[in-house]
Amino acid sequence: MALSLVHSTLFSKTSHLLLHTKIGFSHFSSSIPFSTSALPSNPKTWRRPVISVLELGGVKIARDDVVRDDPTNNVPDTIFSKLGLQLHRRDQHPLGILKNTIHDYFDTNYSNKFDKFDELCPIVSVKQNFDDVLVPADHVSRSYNDTYYVDSQTVLRCHTSAHQAELLRKGHTHFLVTGDVYRRDSIDSTHYPVFHQMEGFRVFSPDEWEASGMDGTSFAAEDLKKCLEGLATHLFGAVEMRWVDTYFPFTNPSFELEIYFKEKWLEVLGCGVTEQEILKRNGKLNNVAWAFGLGLERLAMVLFDIPDIRLFWSDDERFTSQFSKGQLGTKFKPFSRYPPCYKDMSFWISESFTENNLCEVVRGIAGDLVEE
């Protein structure tokens, strides 16, 4: 298996295993019981104060629209405060530099044919996020434990694939979508509940594959692999690569690309030939298409030698001043970090206890330095 570094693709079979092997809470003994019912009744009122309105692509979004004291809502203030930051749109930020480098690759090799989107609103419907890309009704990613729900029909997108259908319906045939995505998760040096993805999509018409004598699916799969191998070389130089068959609900066949980097196989992205059902539903009945999704943090950590995913969110000059527009791969120089400080605590838990709920309460007070 590839090096497990930073969010692997959520929808592949292998990552389900990872999701189910989360560490339990056996180390919380019950010797000094502390009932959670002793907490103030509304946890959101004693968390850190945050801004109340933010602007996304010219649209104002109020905190009260996204963070609500309602059982169908599980968005904490700490997550709301990330919604407008759009790190991928900062040209001097490693994520922005990486995005621009990938854009350059597509512009050069496809003569500016790919339409680029990086300001689509991360608040999407359940239909966009899951149904439109054929995520099964009982898929674990739909749970309140894994996804941030604004209400029962609205979520913070958990992947940029959420925009495939709407862009197809609008008539786009070649596009790249970059954005912040949200998944309830632990926080440590390689995990953070907000990260950034880029989605790529290309539609072919029959004349494109008919001339080749291949069937549409084989033609698209071959083109996809050629395109992404070129992208990996553009980013990493001459590296060894391999393709691994996998499963995604939205593609068939589906693949992961891995590169051999620093003596380990590193999963770079997920991709495949788009399910016909998605094309059919969105006005592309006679076409075939390919799609890919890649995690920007995962790649940026490797390319810039950034050891901790939390650094991407830093406003500390010692971090931000190290990177410049257009400079992919400047090596990050570490600066002082606080030493870790371990604390034991014990408490009673109720039947409805989940690890993510607890961690969010703790982080609402103590911030992102708290691990595990």
Distance CA 322, CA 352 (A): 45
Distance of closest approach, residue 227 Cβ to ligand DAH, in angstroms: 12
Distance of closest approach, residue 167 Cβ to ligand DAH, in angstroms: 12
Which residue type, as a one-letter code, is found at position 245? Answer: D
Distance of closest approach, residue 199 Cβ to ligand DAH, in angstroms: 5
Distance CA 296, CA 306 (A): 12
- Answer yes or no: are the C-beta atoms of 110 and 290 closer than 8 Å: no
- Which residue in 94, 179, 249, 272 binds ligand DAH (CB under 6 A)? 272
Contacts with ligand DAH, 330-369, as mask; x by CB under 6 A: ----------------------------------------
Q: Which of 150, 271 has the CB closer to ligand DAH?
A: 271
Distance CA 54, CA 48 (A): 17
Contacts with ligand DAH, 233-252, as mask; x by CB under 6 A: ---------------x-xx-
The reply to whether 271 sits near ligand DAH by the rule CB under 6 A is yes
DSSP output for 44-75: GGGSPP--SEEEETTEEEEHHHHS-SSTT---
Distance of closest approach, residue 293 Cβ to ligand DAH, in angstroms: 2
The reply to whether 99 sits near ligand DAH by the rule CB under 6 A is no
- Answer yes or no: are the C-beta atoms of 239 and 263 closer than 8 Å: no
- Residue sitting closest to ligand DAH (CB): 293
Half-sphere exposure of 22 (CA within 13 A, CB side): 16
Buried b (16+ CB within 10 A) or exposed e, 104-131: ebbeeeeeeebebebbbebbbbbebbbe
Distance of closest approach, residue 364 Cβ to ligand DAH, in angstroms: 26
Q: Read off the tokens for 89.
A: 């749109």
Distance of closest approach, residue 277 Cβ to ligand DAH, in angstroms: 14
C-alpha distances out from residue 143 to 72, 76, 157, 158, Å: 11, 16, 13, 12
Q: Which stretch binds ligand DAH (CB under 6 A): 35-43, 87-95, 289-297, 354-362?
A: 289-297
Find, among 129, 105, 257, the residue nearest to 182 by Cα. Answer: 129
- Which residue in 2, 5, 6, 9 binds ligand DAH (CB under 6 A)? 9
Phi-psi region of 213 (alpha: psi -120 to 50; beta: other; left: phi over 0): left
Distance of closest approach, residue 244 Cβ to ligand DAH, in angstroms: 12
Q: Which of 231, 291 has the CB closer to ligand DAH?
A: 291
- Which residue in 6, 98, 187, 291 binds ligand DAH (CB under 6 A)? 291
Q: Which of 77, 267 has the CB closer to ligand DAH?
A: 267
**Residues of this chain that bind ligand DAH (CB under 6 A):** 9-11, 159, 161, 199, 248, 250-251, 270-272, 291-293
